[in-house]
Amino acid sequence: MNYFSSDFKLGILGGGQLGKMLLFDTRKFDIQTYVLDPSNEAPCKIACDKFFKGDLMDFETVYNFGKQVDVLTFEIELVNLAALVKLEEEGLKVYPSPKTLKLIQNKGVQKDFYTEHNIPTASYGRFNNLKSLIVDILDSKTRMPFVWKCTEFGYDGNGVKVIREMADLDELPNVECIAEEMIPFKNELAVIVCRNPSGEIRTYPVVEMEFHPEANQVEYVICPARIDNIVADKARAIALSVSEKFNHVGLLAVEMFQTEDDEIIVNEVAPRPHNSGHYSIEGSYTSQFENHLRAILDLPLGNTDSKVAGIMVNLVGEEGYSGNVVYENIEKILGWNGVTPHIYGKKQTRPFRKMGHVTIVNSDIKEARRIAEDVKNTIRVIA
């Protein structure tokens, strides 16, 4: 099929920043794009060929959108699964497949999948609601501390909380959830795996993630991870195994823990471009977004090696500020070598909302990390 400068239409469910960065590559290759998103102010709106406003969880909306395109992908997991299943049954190419998404969309189902397929993961209990979890705690079956996660609709640190005492449960919603053993770990790592329908597969280097202690959001992504080669090889091997078992097409971001004794256990996965791969726009021979596009169109995959060490800093809304966004001191960091800001196009900021990111590239990873800290301390996302 001719994808370039043709009548071919790629549909993207979700119009957020991941879609916007994917559209940079569709424009580079002159591939026609249709986007569906519930917000009229979606970041994708400025860069796609046709924009549709609609509910991603509504069957008819997603189904009717899918009937207008030749290949369908998504940049967010919270989409109507039944509509994707019907579209695929009718012959539409949907990547990643709804069969893969079904195993990932619900974190309880995802954890069960790891257990069934002998993928190393933290032990956990699965509960229909908060009340049944509380009963389990009172019966001394679930012991504190543990990590509480809602099984659906969680994102960017929302829907995850460390529970150390009963009072920590007070503000939680009465929804389906899992209680996961807290694992003492040295590092949080991630590997992005790229696979096309023909079976070609590549992995990006292992990255290391540093998290904000309160917001449970990634503050820094460091590539390459500052770990032994033996541990890195083990992480890539496990990521490949996870990818194979999910049988995905496109990108699969595999988030992992490196335990105190250098074992690798899987935390969770995302079947799409991922925050842990944003550094690749400047740092890699082929960005994660271009490789997602190549994969879903069954084109040869690009080189996933890094050209240079890279660190990504997330730009999130400052605490105490909500309203029309202002990027304070952005002109200062624009004057620094190897520093590239990406602004997502969200007009309204609020505390901890992801508003953009900054990539720092440098031949010396220590120097890159130092500059990343300066970036973090200089630029502020306020209102």
Q: What is the pLDDT of residues 170-218, one digit of tens each?
A: 889 999 999 999 989 999 999 999 999 999 999 999 999 998 776 667 8
- Give CA angle at 41 (3, 344), nearest 5°: 70
The verdict on whether residue 208 carries a ligand-binding annotation is no
Two tokens, residue 234? 């083990």
DSSP string of 286-334?
Answer: S-HHHHHHHHHTTPPPPP--BSSEEEEEEEEBPTT--EE-EEETHHHHT
The verdict on whether residue 116 carries a ligand-binding annotation is no
In angstroms, rounded to a whole number, what is the distance separating the alpha carbons of residues 294 and 291? 5
Per-residue pLDDT at 344? 97
In whole numbers, what is the pLDDT of the chain averaged over residues? 95
Residues near 7 by Cβ (< 8 Å), separated by ≥ 6?
A: 32
The verdict on whether residue 107 carries a ligand-binding annotation is yes
pLDDT band, residue 279 (cuts 50/70/90): very high
The verdict on whether residue 188 carries a ligand-binding annotation is yes
Please check whether the domain covering 123-181 is classified as CATH 3.30.1490.20. Answer: yes
The verdict on whether residue 219 carries a ligand-binding annotation is no
102, 199, 277 from 270: Cα distances, Å: 12, 19, 12
In angstroms, rounded to a whole number, what is the distance separating the alpha carbons of residues 302 and 202? 9
Torsion angles phi and psi, residue 169, rounded to 5: -85, -15
Q: Which CATH code is given to the segment(s) 9-94?
A: 3.40.50.20
Quick check: helix, strand or coil at residue 186?
Answer: strand
80, 154, 159, 351 from 162: Cα distances, Å: 30, 14, 10, 20
Per-residue pLDDT at 64? 98
Per-residue pLDDT at 153? 77
Per-residue pLDDT at 159? 85
Residues near 363 by Cβ (< 8 Å), separated by ≥ 6?
A: 308, 309
In angstroms, rounded to a whole number, what is the distance separating the alpha carbons of residues 325 and 380? 10
Torsion angles phi and psi, residue 142, rounded to 5: -110, 125
β partners of residue 177 = 127, 150
CATH of 185-382, one of 3.30.470.20, 3.40.47.10, 3.40.50.150, 3.30.1280.10: 3.30.470.20
Domain boundaries, the chain: 9-94, 123-181, 185-382
Torsion angles phi and psi, residue 269, rounded to 5: -130, 160
- Other Cβ atoms less than 10 A from the Cβ of 366: the count is 10
64, 263, 356 from 342: Cα distances, Å: 33, 35, 5
Two tokens, residue 346? 């969200």
Which pTM value belongs to this model? 0.95
How long a stretch of residues is the chain?
383
CB 358 within 8 A of CB 313: yes
Per-residue pLDDT at 156? 58
The verdict on whether residue 67 carries a ligand-binding annotation is no
In angstroms, rounded to a whole number, what is the distance separating the alpha carbons of residues 345 and 20? 9
**Cα 245 from chain centre:** 19
Q: Does the pLDDT at position 263 exceed 90? A: yes
Give the pLDDT confidence of 293-330 residue by residue, as tens digits. Answer: 999 999 999 999 999 999 999 999 999 999 999 999 99
Give the pLDDT confidence of 103-156 residue by residue, as tens digits. Answer: 999 999 999 999 999 999 999 999 999 999 999 999 889 999 999 999 987 765
pLDDT band, residue 364 (cuts 50/70/90): very high
Per-residue pLDDT at 155? 63
Per-residue pLDDT at 215? 66
Give the pLDDT confidence of 47-79 residue by residue, as tens digits. Answer: 999 999 999 999 999 999 999 999 999 999 999
The verdict on whether residue 149 carries a ligand-binding annotation is yes
DSSP string of 153-169?
Answer: S-BTTBTEEEE-SGGGG
Two tokens, residue 245? 């078992």
Torsion angles phi and psi, residue 267, rounded to 5: -90, -65
